[in-house]
Amino acid sequence: MFPKILLLHFVDEELEDDPVKLKQFVMSKLEDIPNEMKSVVEKTQLDAILLSPLKYRRPWELLWGNISKGNVCVAGDALHPMTPELGQGGCAALEDGVVLARCIAEALLKPGGEETNGKIVDEEEEYRRIEIGLKIFAQKRRWRSIDLISTAYMVGYIQQNNGTIINFLRDNFLSRFLPGMLLRKGDFDCGKLKY
Ligand SMILES: Cc1cc2nc3c(=O)[nH]c(=O)nc-3n(C[C@H](O)[C@H](O)[C@H](O)COP(=O)(O)OP(=O)(O)OC[C@H]3O[C@@H](n4cnc5c(N)ncnc54)[C@H](O)[C@@H]3O)c2cc1C
């Protein structure tokens, strides 16, 4: 079976529509890696090379942007698209899923007073409760999302920087702390599903 290559980084526009040049571009980045890995890329067929733009949301957009509106919300990559340095996009999407399910369940199952007797009886009430559940979801995920997006960006900036000062700081100082910091970002308890 031939592998697929997914390029996520920004490349020159002239490369975008030319798979031959794209493949050459990938090969040019593989100088120092083992031959076995190079041969995987060499054997990749041209139509299996995919180019996808790297999306990133500025953290401050999450400060004042809407995460939910009415009975609709964003979650996963739609909420916190981030650069790939942390490898946490999928994990954070799962966290969103757990928190979202809990918030909706809590909103829908809470006692509704005498007239509803704990059950949802009309659409309007259901809409209102979902809206509240989504607002709570947004509150709970806002800062976690900002934290992940900002950290991923900073780590990428430091790792890929070619400036003398950042290089010096990275190699002599930050390299001691960065790996631990990255691992700690994944160590997040989003709680359990109660229902
Ligand atoms: C190469 C690569 C490596 C990665 N490695 C890791 C890793 O090691 N660890 C990690 O945690 N994360 C990793 N990620 C990130 C992770 O894959 C994503 O963060 C995660 O998949 C986001 O999940 P999501 O459900 O939000 O979005 P997606 O997985 O993108 O799901 C969105 C779905 O919506 C569908 N869709 C889109 N538009 C419409 C529409 N109009 N109507 C109906 N359906 C639609 C899409 O087809 C897709 O199935 C990696 C990503 C890539 C690309």
Best residue among 8, 88, 141, 188 to mutate for probing ligand 1, ranked by most atoms within 8 Å of CB: 88
Give the 3-state secondary structure of residue 49. Answer: strand
Task: Give 19-77 pLDDT, tens digit per residue.
Answer: 888 888 888 888 888 999 899 989 999 988 888 777 789 999 999 899 999 999 999 99
Which is the closest atom of ligand 1 to the Cα of 81? 19
What do you get for the CA distance between the two ends of the chain, in Å?
43
**Per-domain boundaries in the chain:** 5-51, 59-186
Q: How far is the CA of 90 from the centre of ligand 1 (A)?
A: 7
- Are 107 and 132 contacting, i.e. CB atoms less than 8 angstroms apart? yes
Percentages of the chain per state (helix, strand, coil), in multiples of 5: 60, 5, 35
Q: What is the pLDDT of residue 144?
A: 97
Q: What is the pLDDT of residue 113?
A: 47
Task: Give 104-155 pLDDT, tens digit per residue.
Answer: 999 988 765 444 555 555 788 889 999 999 999 999 999 999 999 999 998 8
**For residue 166, what pLDDT band results from cuts at 50, 70 and 90?**
confident
| Ligand 1 lined by 53 (C-beta under 6 Å) | no
Would you say how long the chain is, in residues? 195
Neighbour-count burial of 178, counting CB atoms closer than 10 A to its CB (0-12 exposed, 13-18 middle, 19+ buried)? middle
